[in-house]
Chain A
């Protein structure tokens, strides 16, 4: 069974530029999560989808971050414009959903904003 796929693995951009990350979850997983992990810290939930609907985006900085999950499968996370403090690893995870919350993570995208 294929795991969660994320791209790109690494991205370096200048502040005020925009960037987009892509995630393909495990087939059949209804729930998709985007987490931000700053070096030395635990993952912080940015947004959670159940199929193509948003379940929780309370910690998403909506003035600069946006995410969508069209057709309830793939998802993209965008930052526009980026700030220095956005430098982090962005992790995508998926789970079966419906109280099956065991999450399977991708390798993440390491973003450096200079």
Chain B
């Protein structure tokens, strides 16, 4: 079983601060996805990273895939209350099928 560990588990910050969420594994993934989930809803895809060392930017969010394709990070610049939610990373196995989720990072951005 491929395990994904996310840290921190909980994060509470003030509006305008920067933050980084980490997703680590001992397994190699063919790609890695980041989702955000709000209460009462299903996760919504934010980005997919495929190539080792890849960096993708989505407005104030920056996603990075580790060179060895075992880890990833999500950096948010100048966080806003609308960024509040559960951030989940999910890895696609080398066979290209199973989508395994981490335990998530619960982010709260206070006004």
Contact = CB atoms under 8 A, between A and B. Distances in A.
A8 interface: no
Contacts of B42: 4, 91, 93, 105-108
B101 A101 contact: no
A48 interface: yes
A41 B45 contact: no
B100 interface: yes
Interface stretch (B54-62, B77-85, B91-99): B91-99
B99 A42 contact: no
Interface in A55-114: 55-56, 91, 93, 95, 99, 101-108
A91 B6 CA distance: 21
Interface residues of A, number: 25
B33 A102 contact: yes
A103 B34 CA distance: 11
Contacts of B102: 42
Contact of A43 (B33, B43, B45): B43
A99 B98 CA distance: 10
A107 B100 CA distance: 19
